[in-house]
Structure 1
Amino acid sequence: MGAMAMKIYNGYAFAVLFAIVVFGSFIANSATTGTMDMSTAILLKVDQSGNGDFKKIQDAIDAVPSNNSELYFILVKPGTYREKLQVPADKPFITLSGTLASNTIITWGDTGEIIQSATLSNTFGTSGKAVALRVEGDRVAFYGCKILSYQDTLLDDAGRHYYSNCYIEGATDFICGNAASLFERCHLHSLSTVDGAITAQHRNSPSEDTGFSFLGCKITGVGTALLGRPWGPYSRVVFALTYMSSVVVPQGWDDWGDQSKQRYMINVHSGINSHS
């Protein structure tokens, strides 16, 4: 994750997390509403050099008690942390914060079943599913983070999530899942050479209040890419006030041969939307 502001997004905890992310901040927060006073948070420092409370991020997470009701702020000092992290569902009120995305990195390499392979910044490669971050929890926020992999980079699985000023990179279905999420001022970068899909939203019923909304974002890439394809029959994705470089093909969406799946993947061309 990249550098993250000391902002709170009220919510519950994660269930299972990541692969590799480059650090800003993410917050897995409370079941209450309203603004939280971070001055009351318990500070835990992670420093590979030994000048902190822990050398590993997971050790700091493990130190937070189950069914926690206090704010914890885990400050991660610069370094490359080779860990596969998990924030359990019974540990809410946690903020993880690094300094800069360029110098605070969490990395691992894994593939296989997408629920278990998440590893923040996933260095597995291009030959299979390699989730970098899995988010399954309500009211979780990410600020200034880099989320990097190739296929299924961000498994935005379930719950309500907020991504602000994040950089998300991949080639195939690299933002996928069935959460209700807002991506604001994020940079989406496609590594696909030919018509890879940026999104694969998994809404299965018209009654589900889920979908991906991209507001004020930017899309770039190395080849050509589709805005998305429907993982579920009622996939819902909206791009608004978003800059789209020529990497986005005029077709826009791939409906997998079923035109009825186009109806929820619309409202794409509102606001600033250029091919240049």
Structure 2
Amino acid sequence: MAVTHIFFAVFALVLVYKSDVCSSTHVSSSPTDAAVLIVVDQSGKGHYRTIREAINAVPSKNSELIYISIKPGIYREKLVVPADKPFITLSGTDASNTIITWNDGGRIFDSATLSVMASDFVAIALTIQNTFGMRGKGIALRVSADKAAFYGCRILSYQDTLLDDYGRHYYYNCYIEGATDFICGNAASFFESCQLHSLAKAFGILTAQHRNSPSENTGFIFLGCNITGSPGGTDLGRPWGPYSRVIFGNTFMSNTVSPEGWRDWDDPRAQRTVYYGEYNCYGPGANRAKRVGWSRELSHDQSAQFLNRDIIGARSWLRPLPTHFKKRRPQHVFDVKDYFWKN
């Protein structure tokens, strides 16, 4: 089962890359298509027993692709990928059995289970979890760097689950769970084929986007996603910043979405400056008959500028999985199939 899931995660990554990069004249900023392989295995059969040790082993000012393969297990670790260690991939075998978990809350920038501060980061098939619960802010994932991509990951908490802080980010086939402002920040992010699950029973907010001026090219774009949860209690978003921008396109909205759809965070002035749009959404929660009048039902032409990965410049930085791995000692390069199918 693990082999099957890692195959599909890799296959999805390759498809996304080919559809968005190979047809472009731009190239990825990746230094090479071969990666240094580091294996994390709690049983002691890998290079390290903890993910923290593997990240620490990456040299400062790294310029190589680093592929950290994490064997199944529950890793109780609070992790930071430092800004001077770009080009790191953290890959599990299946998000259901490769779990990074911590329990911390309070300050929004300090509580994250995993903080990504380095550019050119990739995560595949991981659960990233903060178990702080309903007591307050408890971030599972903080992304405060440019060019980060997440494939087949589960991101779980209650309040402020995903601090999508700044930079350009891509989420594909991810499951994101929370209740209050559970996707927040001022990044330029594209969420494709993701499930957004609200835990709220009466008052929930999916997004709190933090765009502060019309000149900022930031916002959250959701394409082909699926919104689920308890009936009637969750809004699509509210403005953390006065020019907050969120668009949902071709998204299924269950009856968890409130009829009004959006909130102004008790500041009517925001109604004149936010950009909240919906295009071709469907399901019982997509009925716009009672939507707030300051949200937008977008036409095909209006939505076209948002509903593609070009809005995050993905052609220039999304990269495929490395085609070869190499070990530091001895220097040996082998095909990706040799590792995934024999280990």
TM range (shorter): 0.7 to 0.9
| Aligned with residue 198 of structure 2, among 190, 204, 210 | 190
| Aligned residue in 1 for 2:189 | 181
Letter in 2 for 1:45: V
CA distance in 1: counterparts of 2:165 and 2:81, whole angstroms: 15
Once the two structures are TM-superposed, the CA of residue 187 in structure 1 deviates from its matched residue by 0.1
CA distance in 2: counterparts of 1:239 and 1:207, whole angstroms: 21
Compute the TM-score of the two structures, normalised by the length of structure 2: 0.70
Q: Secondary structure in 2 aligned to 1:62?
A: helix
Structure-to-structure mapping, 1:100-111, within 5 angstroms: 100-111=94-105
Whether 1:5 and 2:14 are equivalent positions in the alignment is: no
Whether 1:244 and 2:238 are equivalent positions in the alignment is: no
Compute the TM-score of the two structures, normalised by the length of structure 1: 0.87
Larger relative helix fraction: 2
| Aligned with residue 145 of structure 2, among 137, 143, 164 | 137
- Higher RCO, 1 or 2 (CA under 8 Å, sep at least 6)? 1
| Aligned residue in 2 for 1:26 | none
| Aligned residue in 2 for 1:214 | 222
| Aligned residue in 2 for 1:267 | 277
Cα pair 2:230 2:255 within 8 Å, conserved = no
CA distance in 2: counterparts of 1:121 and 1:185, whole angstroms: 20
**Runs of 5+ unmatched residues, structure 2:** 18-25, 114-127, 286-343
CA distance in 1: counterparts of 2:103 and 2:282, whole angstroms: 35
Letter in 1 for 2:253: M
Once the two structures are TM-superposed, the CA of residue 266 in structure 1 deviates from its matched residue by 2.5
Once the two structures are TM-superposed, the CA of residue 206 in structure 1 deviates from its matched residue by 1.1
| Aligned with residue 229 of structure 1, among 234, 238, 248 | 238
Show CA shifts across 1:172-199 (max 9, x none). 0000000000000000000001121000
CA distance in 2: counterparts of 1:181 and 1:39, whole angstroms: 25
CA distance in 1: counterparts of 2:157 and 2:256, whole angstroms: 18
Letter in 2 for 1:63: A
**Runs of 5+ unmatched residues, structure 1:** 11-31
- Equivalenced residue count is 253
Letter in 2 for 1:126: M
Considering only CA atoms, is the larger Rg found in Structure 1 or Structure 2?
Answer: 2
Identity of aligned residues (%): 61
CA distance in 2: counterparts of 1:273 and 1:185, whole angstroms: 14
Distance change (3 Å), C-alpha of 1:274 and 1:158: same
Show CA shifts across 1:149-177 (max 9, x none). 00000000000000000000000000000
CA distance in 2: counterparts of 1:71 and 1:213, whole angstroms: 28
Letter in 2 for 1:204: N
